[in-house]
Structure 1
Amino acid sequence: MDCKTAPNQGHAAAPSTLGGTMIVAGTVIGAGMLTLPIIAAGMWTGWTLAVLVLSFFMMRASAHMILRANLRYAPGASFDTVVRGTLGRGWNLLNGLSVGFVLYMLMYAYTSGGGATLGHSLGLSWPQGLVSLCFGLLLAACIFWSTRIVDRLSVILMVGMVVAFVAALAGMLPAFRVEHLGDGGTLVAGGERLPRAWYVLATLPYFLTSFCFHASVPSLVKYYGPDEKRIGRCIFYGLLIAGLFYAAWILTGFGVLSREGLRAVYAQGGNISHYLAAVEQVRADAWLGQAVSVFAFLAVVTSFLGAGLGLFDYIADACSFDDRVPGRVKTALVAFAPPVLAGTIFPDGFIMAIGFAGFAAAIWSVIIPALMEWKSLLAHQANRGRLALVWLVLIYGLLSAGFHLLSPDVLDILPVYR
């Protein structure tokens, strides 16, 4: 397809709900998922499942707030247009800085994680930076070509990822210990024994980031047109698939590696390759190692494609680049050159990048959507129930951002199990 032709124009067949669902699920399921067992080791099973459910509902609600705001504008309008028109230039500036920061940090994390996973899986002797560079350039080229390519690749890769995921879980089950899931009591942090609930606080930004696909909402509106019900179904099913994947992956990691094993992974730096190496040590099976590696690789690829598509469309809208080939080349350079080069030059810092992304994501994917919804509801004199949901989402975003400032990556006040 000519890259300057919108995927839902002309005589092309109408895009299916499945394609949008896979874009959402593929964007969500990625590097964030692979870090969750490590990050959640402190709070362990019960609190982890509670935070997972909370994050699902809050992030779904904020995504619908973005969708409703976006539908008041023509398809193709991104956050720069929607926020400026709804909240004004001041909020739009904060939103733009937050969106750019999050998407660039995620693209950096996916470039770094993808290079590390690919190098570990293939046993390459190349420098990790070179592998990350090749990985990032290839996927950036796919996004440059068209949204339709991302749609088709997302469906194919998600099928492969499900197969690899099932194979990986099946291979890990012989090493699974149910008693690990019930490991209770208190944990040691800074010389003190703390209840598990304390470890919930520092994890919120990571779970928020793991459900964050919101930059893709304007892309879905551009792709489907003003079809709120269909896009809503894509959001729900995509997040549900991701939530089920997360629960299975986290619980399996808990049962196989145990709490102390996961703390050792965190101490090594927490990159994807460290987690894969730990699994291989517990169950030395070459077939299992390949299955887990393939799943991890496909998860990062689908996430790169989804987040990259959102970043590409955002840059095009914010910089007023047209959709012809010269304009798309400019968009691709601005969108992908900084994170791909950063992932090449600085291949570590994976978990830290996800945490900082969670701080900024709380601003543009939760707080600002809640403010846009609040303004709209007040203008239409909405009922109290709708306003109550806005307040819940707003509080969730503020707490997530605030807790990251108190985390070891910034002020080092909140405990982390490492």
Structure 2
Amino acid sequence: MTALSTARSTPSIFGGVMIIGGTIIGAGMFSLPVVMAGAWFFWSLAGLVFTWFCMLHSGLMILEANLNYAPGASFDTITRDLLGRNWNVLNGLSIAFVLYILTYAYISASGSIIHHTLDELNVVFSPRLAGLLFALAVAFIVWLSTKAVSRMTAIVLGAKVITFFLTFGSLLGHVKPATLMNVAEQSPSYAPYLLMTLPFCLASFGYHGNVPSLMKYYGREPKIIIRCLVWGTLIALGLYAIWLLGTMGNIARHDFIAIAEKGGNIDVLVQALSGVLNSRSLNLLLVIFSNFAVASSFLGVTLGLFDYLADLFGFDDSPLGRLKTALATFLPPMAGGLIWPNGFLYAIGYAGLAATVWAAIVPALLARASRKRFGSPRYRVWGGNGMIALILLFGAGNALVHVLSSLGLLPVYK
């Protein structure tokens, strides 16, 4: 009877899958077809599958280490205990950098998509001002309470899911095989452009901070949490593949060059799709979906940054304390949005660079240190030291690719 009650009280796996999938899928997906135009569909899909494999296993390595601690132990606690203060500081700085740069990216994205939405209604509005006002609205919601963010996120996420399926159902119906297979180009080259896409792929599979949250949610139940990670990341991979199919099957490869030259922001991609499809209803769905995608990503990222800074600086939960945290959270990226309003693609790329630390390198080191100290009695990621080495190489390789790309040492499709 007791065992039956316990089984019934275990949270559904569906909730965990949605936490992982919802964390991964956001406005960052709009950067993928633009940066992957050079590698095109099949090579880009191969890069996404490889990145999915590595990012899934790095998350499982965090779980392996986390299972040796009480439910509720944070990523920060585990890193400090197993790797020491220096690695913990580096890990903390990389997390803060990623959250700040993504907040800036979503301010840039929100300004562009609000500008595009109002332009459809024949209302002229500056993208800079639109991004600033949107950031202030989100800042107010985050300042109010976590509960306010949770309620708003639930509303936005529900709307995003509905518009997602409506939009992508329509997009797939318009896919042209000749465009997808790029038959217009004679002897095209794809493989040389694959490397530069990898940091963007990595940034599109970030969920690792949620692993300790799942253990707090489910307890020490590795089988359930593993399923959540596998299915959550697989859903994201599937949706990314559909998104590439829908965009690359409708927009010719060479047309992506102009999109990238305009900063690759969301409004430019939506305009390009609208121009090719010539469908008023689909254009409306694209605009609505992109607004909800930006809003849900913005709320999730800024709440994470808000909580991180409150803990880091010791700000209390009083209205004044939350105001201090809100100012520290929003002022730097808002200033960046005013100065560089079209930095969405660059920001996502730099987020991928910093994420190599806490989403690849640190998890591999945590698994190795955990095995030395505890022996991993509850769960061990398969593949032994070879898998740890692969994830370390994956992280270091992504960082190297981004540096080489920034220095102009990798081929760029133009």
TM-score bin, normalised by smaller chain: 0.7 to 0.9
Q: CA deviation at 1:381?
A: 4.7
Q: Secondary structure at the match of 1:258?
A: coil
Q: Secondary structure at the match of 1:269?
A: coil
Give the conservation status (yes or no) of the 8 Å contact 1:24–1:306: no
Q: 1:243: which partner in 2?
A: 237
Q: 1:403: which partner in 2?
A: 401
* 1:298 aligned to which of 286, 292, 317: 292
Q: Secondary structure at the match of 1:259?
A: coil
Give distance in 2, aligned partners of 1:78 and 1:130: 37
Give the conservation status (yes or no) of the 8 Å contact 1:216–1:306: no
Give distance in 1, aligned partners of 2:184 and 2:88: 46
Give the conservation status (yes or no) of the 8 Å contact 1:45–1:251: yes
**Which stretch has the larger CA shift, 128-137 or 15-24?**
15-24
Q: 2:175: which partner in 1?
A: 176
1:385 aligns with 2:383: yes
Give the TM-score normalised by the residue count of structure 2. Answer: 0.86
Give distance in 1, aligned partners of 2:139 and 2:400: 33
**Deviation per residue, 1:184-206 (Å, 9 max, x gap):** 7989xxxxx98422111111000
* 2:274 aligned to which of 249, 258, 280: 280
**Which stretch has the larger CA shift, 121-130 or 243-252?**
121-130
Q: Secondary structure at the match of 1:256?
A: coil
Q: CA deviation at 1:40?
A: 1.0
Give the conservation status (yes or no) of the 8 Å contact 2:364–2:388: yes
1:159–1:411 distance in 2 versus 1, CA, 3 Å: same
* 2:26 aligned to which of 26, 30, 46: 30
**Deviation per residue, 1:89-127 (Å, 9 max, x gap):** 221222122111111111110111012112211324232
Q: Secondary structure at the match of 1:55?
A: helix
**Deviation per residue, 1:270-318 (Å, 9 max, x gap):** 1111101111111222221111111111112222222223323322333
Q: Secondary structure at the match of 1:212?
A: coil
Q: CA deviation at 1:147?
A: 4.5
Give the conservation status (yes or no) of the 8 Å contact 2:199–2:399: yes
Q: 1:365: which partner in 2?
A: 359
**Deviation per residue, 1:146-199 (Å, 9 max, x gap):** 555544544443332232223223443454211222237989xxxxx9842211
Give distance in 2, aligned partners of 1:401 and 1:416: 17
Q: CA deviation at 1:249?
A: 0.7
* 2:324 aligned to which of 321, 325, 330: 330
Give distance in 1, aligned partners of 2:347 and 2:290: 18
Give distance in 1, aligned partners of 2:325 and 2:152: 21
Q: 2:41: which partner in 1?
A: 45
Give distance in 2, aligned partners of 1:147 and 1:19: 19
1:139–1:219 distance in 2 versus 1, CA, 3 Å: farther
1:63–1:333 distance in 2 versus 1, CA, 3 Å: farther
Q: 2:205: which partner in 1?
A: 211
**Deviation per residue, 1:44-64 (Å, 9 max, x gap):** 122111111111121122223
Give distance in 1, aligned partners of 2:367 and 2:27: 30
Give the conservation status (yes or no) of the 8 Å contact 1:271–1:351: yes
Q: Kindly tell me the number of residue pairs found equivalent between the two proteins.
A: 399
Q: 1:7: which partner in 2?
A: none
* 1:308 aligned to which of 284, 302, 307: 302
Q: 1:126: which partner in 2?
A: 125
1:66 aligns with 2:65: no
Give the conservation status (yes or no) of the 8 Å contact 2:163–2:288: yes
Q: 1:261: which partner in 2?
A: 255
Give the conservation status (yes or no) of the 8 Å contact 2:353–2:402: yes
Q: CA deviation at 1:213?
A: 2.6
2:281 partner amino acid: W
1:209–1:271 distance in 2 versus 1, CA, 3 Å: same
Q: Secondary structure at the match of 1:41?
A: coil
Q: Secondary structure at the match of 2:254?
A: helix
What percentage of aligned pairs have identical amino acids?
44
Q: 2:6: which partner in 1?
A: none
Q: 2:3: which partner in 1?
A: none
Q: 1:142: which partner in 2?
A: 141
**Which stretch has the larger CA shift, 327-336 or 301-310?**
327-336
1:405 partner amino acid: V
Q: 1:3: which partner in 2?
A: none
Q: 1:9: which partner in 2?
A: none
1:145–1:221 distance in 2 versus 1, CA, 3 Å: farther
1:216–1:129 distance in 2 versus 1, CA, 3 Å: farther
**Deviation per residue, 1:118-150 (Å, 9 max, x gap):** 221132423222211222232334344455554
Give the conservation status (yes or no) of the 8 Å contact 1:215–1:310: no
Give distance in 2, aligned partners of 1:394 and 1:249: 29
Q: CA deviation at 1:361?
A: 0.7
Give distance in 1, aligned partners of 2:372 and 2:111: 48
Give the conservation status (yes or no) of the 8 Å contact 2:175–2:245: no
Give the conservation status (yes or no) of the 8 Å contact 2:118–2:124: no
The unaligned stretches of length 5 or more in structure 1 are 1-12, 188-192
Give the TM-score normalised by the residue count of structure 1. Answer: 0.85
Give the conservation status (yes or no) of the 8 Å contact 1:359–1:400: yes
Q: 1:166: which partner in 2?
A: 165
1:261–1:126 distance in 2 versus 1, CA, 3 Å: same
Q: Secondary structure at the match of 2:194?
A: helix
Q: CA deviation at 1:19?
A: 4.6
